[in-house]
Chain A
Amino acid sequence: MLRYILKRLLIMVITLWIIITLTFILMVSIPGSPFNSERSSNETIQANLESHYNLDEPYHIQYLLYLKSIVTFDFGPSIKKPDQSVNELLGRGFPISFELGIVTIIVAVISGIILGIIAALRHNGFIDYMAMGIAVLGISIPNFILATLLIQQLAVNFDIFPVATWKSPAHMVLPTLALATGPMAIIARLTRSTMLEVLTQDYIKMARAKGLSPWKIIIKHALRNALMPVVTIMGTLLAGILTGTFVIEQIFAIPGMGKYFVESINQRDYPVIMGTTVFYSAFLIIMLFLVDIAYGILDPRIKVNKQGGE
């Protein structure tokens, strides 16, 4: 097990380095500079700005500066928000995105699994169609449409919730609903299809034959195996949702970190691009690693510590 973990850690570091290098190459190869603007300017000012942010250095020096900033976990100040360091931006935005993300995941997973199980048990019945109907709607309605609809109905027309911003638990309800619907639908469909498969397996018949109660069979025997695909997508889902979502955060004016992924690229804010990329990649890689570990715990047939046993 330990050897496996060490090997994985090494691969993680190499992966991260490749991502950083590719990001740097892509970053410097897109045209434009952080200081392009319609506002008045002149060559002197542009030159001063470039030297202030070390952008007049040759690329290999800039690359080394970036690697240094990553190793020391200090990405320096943002170019577009010079009073704040990238660490501050991420340190402030991430907890908020994380908070929203965790609540969303909990809502999505619980409601998704319940919907999926119910649909599978009432296969091809009325409830199955209802549950899957909701799932199809959840997948096909983009979350920003849902967000606008929720604001219009629940915040403006009925005034139950505040429209936007991030100040109290009441402010969390609408963005959570908007954000959770999509993942919930995906999880519901996954759970349903694997549940259907598992329920026809021999060991389920065996459990039934032993006379176990139906609920015990479902929870202990069927669900455990049916959850494997759900666990598989959890890695990417967690990394995606926990690090913030640009659109939902923009609509609800949530000061999370989702916006930095998009804005930093549009604004050519190089330190922020690097910071967000490294942060997200590291987060994603760790999540995938945890998922692999979780496989072993959930399904004894998968042994992570044996050669080729992944």
Chain B
Amino acid sequence: MKKFLVLLFTVFLVAVLAACTANENAGEEEPADDAEAAEENGETGESDEASGEKILRLNNGVEPTSFNPSIGFDQVSWDPLNNLMEGLTRLDKESKAGPGAAADWEISEDGLTYTFNLREDANWSNGDPVTAEDFVYAWKLMLDPETGSQAAFLAYFIKGAEAFNSGEGSADDVAVTAVDEKTLEVVLEAPTGFFLDLLTNPAFFPVNHKVAEENPDWHAEAESFVANGPFKLESWEHDSEMMFAKNEEYWDADAVKLDKVHFEMVNDTNTQYQMFESGELDTASIPPELSDQLIDGDNVFIGNYGGLEFYRFNLTEEPFQNKKIRQAFSHAINRADIAEFVVKNGVEPAYGFVSPGFITPSGEDFRDVNGDLTTFDAEKAKQLLEEGMEEEGYDELPPIVLSYNTSDSNKAVAEAIQNMFIENLGVEVSLENQEWGVFAEAQQNLELQFSRSSFINDYNDPVNFLESFITDSYMNRTGWSNAEYDELIAKGKSETDEEKRWEYLLEAEKLLAEEMIAIPIRYYNTVVLEADGVSGILRHPVGYFDLKYADVE
């Protein structure tokens, strides 16, 4: 015991010594790093104030994949890129597509031809005017099969686009034309009600073709990057940090309040939270283990995020060929408990497939119109299971394996669901987790019986998700095929009457829930801690964040 105490004392002594010596070093090297900043939780650093510049300090998590609009197909690329560049349209404060680089546009009677008039004062950060040719160049580059763009499918609504991308057509047949320097004409394959919204997606950003033809790698470094958005890329130290500066050439530069935006690349939830706590970052996400403590704070932003966590049935494997058994499994899950006690962070349980925030032409939320399409009802679940087993002639269910890709949060949800099946259905399922790549391939090849999935919307229309389940779709991954559903989706994409088009989509979602080929669990949301004085950051349910109107005090 005595020895142990001595040991403890020694450890303490060493720690104190280390801290003291270290303190001296730090004092010399960073005099500006004062203790006050840490106490006044997340206040903007003194040095920023002193120089009179408004700098917003954010964390991008990791290095962006690419700032080439057609390559960086992920949030870590497109969140920053959305502030460096601007498409024909831009999401406004109400998350609706409003004028961007295009001042206005005309749509033909048949809904097929869009003519965009670009702003006369829309310029690139190097002073070049933003021209119609810049859009033609960018979009054809994205669709070129040689480019290998993962975002190319977003442009398939344009006439000739899919053929070119699959190597059957040519670039000349893609119906995007520069009528003159500031007029762009686009012809669509079929009327597409959400086309203007789609154009806010970074995949449709222009590329300064004069710069790109001279230097194809213009987007790889800060020195060669040309921006047409609210900010320009001032410096970029790969894997480490980026600095954006206000783009004076931007047509709406007067609306931009920030002088600079600084991005760190910190890929550890705890570290970024601690940097926020010590005042080194202005926003942060909430580490899962601190959720209960922090989620109700005044400095927390919670918003919709168009996405769904769900479990897919494999209809080619027993017992999930049976609709009633599938429905039974859905009714046995207590989603409210999963949202509140397992996932936490203020997420909403999902009783439908399309997440809240998609507004119908009559101004209602798609989710509210269709309401709850499944429930938590243990009695009903048991009854449906019994009926289903009778239909299939089962005395007992075949063994069921629930698979998920390895992660702490997926495991927690899977275990909760496993428990609910035992409790509410009397069915024991076994759990299996796999590394992501192995899991994804097995799911794609229909080798998993019952497996986890998630979906994040690419554009602001329910068809984006619902389309996944049409026959033989790459995203189907359930083995399900239903002619009626395929028909509803086809109409839901091309119907010119917007009211009717949404009707079809509402019908489609109901059919999906009736067939219950996947069990919705919960919707995604955006939860961000914001330091005092930070305001005006637009976070859209679908789309990428916008710092155009952001401000720090």
Chain A residues engaging chain B, CB cutoff 8 angstroms: 30-33, 35-46, 48-49, 51-53, 80-84, 88, 92-93, 126, 129-130, 133-134, 137, 148, 151-156, 158-166, 168-170, 173, 177, 250-253, 255, 259, 266-268
Query: In the complex, what distance in Å separates the CA atom of A134 from the CA atom of B268?
Result: 28
- B residues 235-268 touching A (CB-CB < 8 Å): 237-241, 264-268
Say whether B153 faces chain A, with CB atoms less than 8 Å apart: yes
Pick from B4-12, B180-188, B495-503 the stretch touching chain A: B4-12
Query: In the complex, what distance in Å separates the CA atom of A42 from the CA atom of B74?
Result: 16
Say whether B197 faces chain A, with CB atoms less than 8 Å apart: no
Given known pairs A93-B239, A133-B7, the reply for A42 and B153 (CB within 8 Å) is: yes
Q: Are B29 and A158 in contact (CB under 8 A)?
A: no
Say whether B297 faces chain A, with CB atoms less than 8 Å apart: no
Given known pairs A45-B165, A133-B11, the reply for A173 and B25 (CB within 8 Å) is: yes
**Can you list 9 pairs linking A and B with CB atoms under 8 Å apart?**
A31-B441, A39-B150, A42-B153, A83-B71, A151-B274, A154-B22, A164-B266, A170-B30, A253-B271
Q: Are B278 and A155 in contact (CB under 8 A)?
A: yes
Q: Which of A40, A44, A160 sits near B162, CB closer than 8 Å?
A: A44
Q: Are A81 and B66 in contact (CB under 8 A)?
A: yes
Q: Residue of A at shortest CB range from B264?
A: A165
Q: Are A168 and B29 in contact (CB under 8 A)?
A: yes
- Please name all residues of chain A whose beta carbon is closer than 8 Å to the beta carbon of B455 when the two chains form the complex: 38
Chain B 169-208, CB-CB to A under 8 Å as 1, else 0, gives 0000000000000000000000000000000000000000
Say whether B438 faces chain A, with CB atoms less than 8 Å apart: yes
Q: Which of B10, B30, B150 sits near A134, CB closer than 8 Å?
A: B10
Q: Are B152 and A45 in contact (CB under 8 A)?
A: yes
Q: Are A40 and B271 in contact (CB under 8 A)?
A: no
Interface range, B side: 35 or more
Closest 6 CB pairs of A and B: A32-B437, A52-B148, A36-B440, A255-B239, A133-B7, A253-B266
Q: Are A163 and B10 in contact (CB under 8 A)?
A: no
With most chain B CB atoms within 10 A of its CB, the pick from A35, A84, A153, A268 is A84
Q: Which of B11, B25, B166, B264 sits near A44, CB closer than 8 Å?
A: B166
Chain B 110-139, CB-CB to A under 8 Å as 1, else 0, gives 000000000000000000000000000000
Chain B residues engaging chain A, CB cutoff 8 angstroms: 3, 6-7, 10-11, 14, 18-19, 22-23, 25-26, 29-30, 33-35, 37-38, 63, 65-68, 71, 73-74, 145-150, 152-153, 162, 165-167, 217, 219-220, 237-241, 264-268, 270-271, 274-275, 277-278, 280, 435-438, 440-442, 444, 453-456, 458, 464, 468, 473-475
Q: Which of A35, A52, A137 sits near B147, CB closer than 8 Å?
A: A52
Q: Which of A30, A40, A152, A177 sits near B438, CB closer than 8 Å?
A: A30
Q: Are B437 and A40 in contact (CB under 8 A)?
A: no
- Please name all residues of chain B whose beta carbon is closer than 8 Å to the beta carbon of A36 when the two chains form the complex: 436-437, 440-441, 444
Given known pairs A81-B66, A168-B29, A170-B29, the reply for A44 and B165 (CB within 8 Å) is: yes
Q: Are A84 and B220 in contact (CB under 8 A)?
A: yes
Given known pairs A53-B148, A92-B238, A253-B265, the reply for A162 and B271 (CB within 8 Å) is: no
Query: In the complex, what distance in Å separates the CA atom of A84 from the CA atom of B240?
Result: 14
Query: In the complex, what distance in Å separates the CA atom of A52 from the CA atom of B219?
Result: 19
Q: Which of B22, B267, B441 sits near A161, CB closer than 8 Å?
A: B22
Q: Which of B6, B33, B66, B271 sits near A170, CB closer than 8 Å?
A: B33
- Please name all residues of chain A whose beta carbon is closer than 8 Å to the beta carbon of B23 when the two chains form the complex: 160
Q: Are B278 and A156 in contact (CB under 8 A)?
A: yes
Query: In the complex, what distance in Å separates the CA atom of A1 from the CA atom of B266?
Result: 49
Query: In the complex, what distance in Å separates the CA atom of A79 from the CA atom of B68?
Result: 14
- Please name all residues of chain B whose beta carbon is closer than 8 Å to the beta carbon of A33 when the two chains form the complex: 437, 441
Q: Are A129 and B437 in contact (CB under 8 A)?
A: no
Q: How far is the CB of A125 from chain B (nearest CB, A)?
A: 11
Q: Are A164 and B271 in contact (CB under 8 A)?
A: yes
Q: How far is the CB of A78 from chain B (nearest CB, A)?
A: 10
Query: In the complex, what distance in Å separates the CA atom of A268 from the CA atom of B26?
Result: 41
Query: In the complex, what distance in Å separates the CA atom of A251 from the CA atom of B269?
Result: 9
- Please name all residues of chain A whose beta carbon is closer than 8 Å to the beta carbon of B71 when the two chains form the complex: 82-83
Given known pairs A40-B475, A148-B270, A163-B274, the reply for A32 and B436 (CB within 8 Å) is: yes
Query: In the complex, what distance in Å separates the CA atom of A170 from the CA atom of B10?
Result: 25
Q: How far is the CB of B110 from chain A (nearest CB, A)?
A: 27
- Please name all residues of chain A whose beta carbon is closer than 8 Å to the beta carbon of B464 when the two chains form the complex: 40
Query: In the complex, what distance in Å separates the CA atom of A177 from the CA atom of B17?
Result: 13
- Please name all residues of chain A whose beta carbon is closer than 8 Å to the beta carbon of B38 when the two chains form the complex: 156, 159
Q: Are A168 and B271 in contact (CB under 8 A)?
A: no
Q: Which of A51, A153, A251 sits near B268, CB closer than 8 Å?
A: A251
With most chain B CB atoms within 10 A of its CB, the pick from A39, A43, A126 is A39
Q: How far is the CB of A296 from chain B (nearest CB, A)?
A: 37
Q: Are A266 and B66 in contact (CB under 8 A)?
A: no
Q: Which of A52, A151, A161 sits near B26, CB closer than 8 Å?
A: A161
- 17 other contacts beyond A37-B440, A42-B475, with CB at 8 A cut-off? A30-B437, A31-B438, A36-B441, A38-B456, A45-B153, A46-B474, A130-B7, A134-B7, A151-B271, A156-B277, A156-B278, A159-B37, A160-B26, A163-B278, A165-B275, A250-B267, A255-B238
Query: In the complex, what distance in Å separates the CA atom of A137 from the CA atom of B11?
Result: 9
Q: Which of B146, B150, B219, B435 sits near A41, CB closer than 8 Å?
A: B150
Q: How far is the CB of B273 from chain A (nearest CB, A)?
A: 9
Q: Which of A41, A81, A159, A255 sits near B65, CB closer than 8 Å?
A: A81
Q: Are A45 and B150 in contact (CB under 8 A)?
A: yes
Query: In the complex, what distance in Å separates the CA atom of A29 from the CA atom of B207?
Result: 39
- Please name all residues of chain A whose beta carbon is closer than 8 Å to the beta carbon of B63 when the two chains form the complex: 81
Q: How far is the CB of A119 from chain B (nearest CB, A)?
A: 12
